[in-house]
Amino acid sequence: MNKDDHNEKGADTVLNRGLSRRGFVKSVGAIAAASAVGTVGWPGIVSAKSKSINVTCWGGAYEDAVRTSFAQPFEKATGIRVNLVNNADLARMKVQVQNRRISWDVFDSIGPQIMAGSKQGMWEKIDTSIVDTSGLIQQTGDDNVGTYFYAGGIGFDPKRNPQGQHPETFEQFWDVDRFPGRRGLRSRISENLEMALLADGVAPDALYPLDIERGFAALDRIKPHVRKWIETTPQTVSLIASGDLDFTYTYLSRVLPAQRAGTSVAMSMKQTLNSLEYLAVPRHGRNTEAAMQYVNFCLQPENQAKFCEMVEFSPNAEKALSLVDADARARMPDMNSANAIVIDDEWWGEHFDDLQRRFTEWMLM
């Protein structure tokens, strides 16, 4: 999933090399103090009956596609302005819900965060009098909807690392003797734990429930070779383009737009992790009805098709797939491949918070 920009750049420094533990603790303290009054780094609170809503986003090409396919057409159809706010941070969303000061009206995020939020009672029940959930390939919860599948895999520069000189599977990504080079991985535990277990020899169809201790042991082996723990999704491509990394975990939806822009970057399709992206509406919002209208708009097949053509996601609306351009369909991952793993969001909903906390501490050790 994918993800980014100005708010994330501040958080980025917390989790990557070069920041002392003292600096990290100081930063966390400052954030906690600001969070207590519900103000840290947020846009202005949306007033009651506002003609605008704030929707979390992930920056880069993803933001461009959301703006073109959903936000601007929705504004034109309803007169309700959509402000895209980068960085879907569940901890900040939780503070907003707890304080009943909602500034993010729609939370666009990955399964582990959505399921964790659902478990904590953070989302409104989907209003099916407004949101049409029929015809979805993956039916989801009472308080969230799945929008599209996105694929993650191993990114590299094909000029610097042509065929045979770059890893194609996660087992090869862990093989630093055969494929020496600087690695980049995301700073969240989901996906990393799956990659670690696959690298350690667990069969794709036997991943869940994840063997946590075995996964962390495998992460211990790759850790010395990780040059960057990547917080913002655009960096998964830009760090390859700049030559700061040799191999990284990235997303097809980032690689293809970068290729079109002339960047020398590619992603192996031999083994992919495929995840469902979700939308949820936080409780105690002041624009809940408008937020539900936006969610419904995003599920319409023609809107899904337009979005997926731009970023090569696979739509969750069944009727959308036939509307997607044939060339774009050909670039989507082969979901019939045994190496196409689908992330188990229900499992992450039970474990994400505790494991993310452990993973964050592990990165700083």
CB 224 within 8 A of CB 237: no
Tell which residue, 257, 226, 329, 282, has the closest CA to residue 53. 282
Say what the pLDDT of residue 182 is. Answer: 98
CB 245 within 8 A of CB 184: yes
Say what the pLDDT of residue 101 is. Answer: 95
Task: Output 15 or 302, whichever has higher pLDDT.
Answer: 302
- CA–CA separation, 265 and 153 (whole Å): 12
175 Cβ contact partners less than 8 Å away, ≥ 6 residues apart:
167
**What is the SS3 assignment for 131?**
coil
* Arithmetic mean of pLDDT, 255-271: 93
For residue 46, what pLDDT band results from cuts at 50, 70 and 90? Answer: very low
* Arithmetic mean of pLDDT, 13-41: 34
- CA–CA separation, 322 and 187 (whole Å): 36
For residue 335, what pLDDT band results from cuts at 50, 70 and 90? Answer: low
Angle in degrees, CA 124, 50, 120, rounded to 5? 20
**What is the SS3 assignment for 364?**
helix
- CA–CA separation, 174 and 196 (whole Å): 8
Between 123-127, 237-241, 337-341, the lowest mean confidence (pLDDT) is in 337-341
* pLDDT value at 314 more than 90: no
Between 48-57, 234-243, 321-330, the lowest mean confidence (pLDDT) is in 48-57
* pLDDT value at 106 more than 50: yes
CB 123 within 8 A of CB 282: yes
- CA–CA separation, 204 and 209 (whole Å): 12
User: Helices 301-311 and 252-260: crossing angle, nearest 10°?
Assistant: 60
* pLDDT value at 204 more than 90: yes
Say what the pLDDT of residue 288 is. Answer: 97
Say what the pLDDT of residue 331 is. Answer: 81
Tell which residue, 99, 147, 85, has the closest CA to residue 283. 99
Q: Write out the two tokens for 68.
A: 């073109």
Between 17-21, 57-61, 69-73, 76-80, the lowest mean confidence (pLDDT) is in 17-21
Which CA distances in Å does 78 have to 52, 70, 289? 10, 12, 12
**Range from 20-24, 147-151, 179-183 that averages highest in pLDDT:** 179-183
For residue 50, what pLDDT band results from cuts at 50, 70 and 90? Answer: low
Say what the pLDDT of residue 8 is. Answer: 37
* pLDDT value at 2 more than 50: no
Alpha-carbon torsion angle 157, 158, 164, 169, nearest 10? 50
Say what the pLDDT of residue 15 is. Answer: 33
Say what the pLDDT of residue 4 is. Answer: 38
Among the residues of the chain, which ranges form H helices?
6-15, 21-36, 60-66, 72-78, 90-99, 111-119, 170-174, 189-199, 212-222, 235-241, 252-260, 288-299, 301-311, 326-331, 345-364
For residue 98, what pLDDT band results from cuts at 50, 70 and 90? Answer: very high
Q: Which residue has the tokens 């760090």?
A: 239
Which CA distances in Å does 106 have to 83, 196, 235? 10, 32, 24
- CA–CA separation, 149 and 342 (whole Å): 9
Say what the pLDDT of residue 29 is. Answer: 36
Q: What is the 3-state secondary structure (H, E, C) of 47-97?
A: CCCCCEEEEEECCHHHHHHHHHHHHHHHHHHHCCEEEEEECCCHHHHHHHH
pTM equals 0.68
Q: Above pLDDT 90, what percent of the chain?
A: 64
360: Cα separation from own chain's centroid: 17
242 Cβ contact partners less than 8 Å away, ≥ 6 residues apart:
none
Q: What is the mean pLDDT of the chain?
A: 85
* Arithmetic mean of pLDDT, 344-355: 88
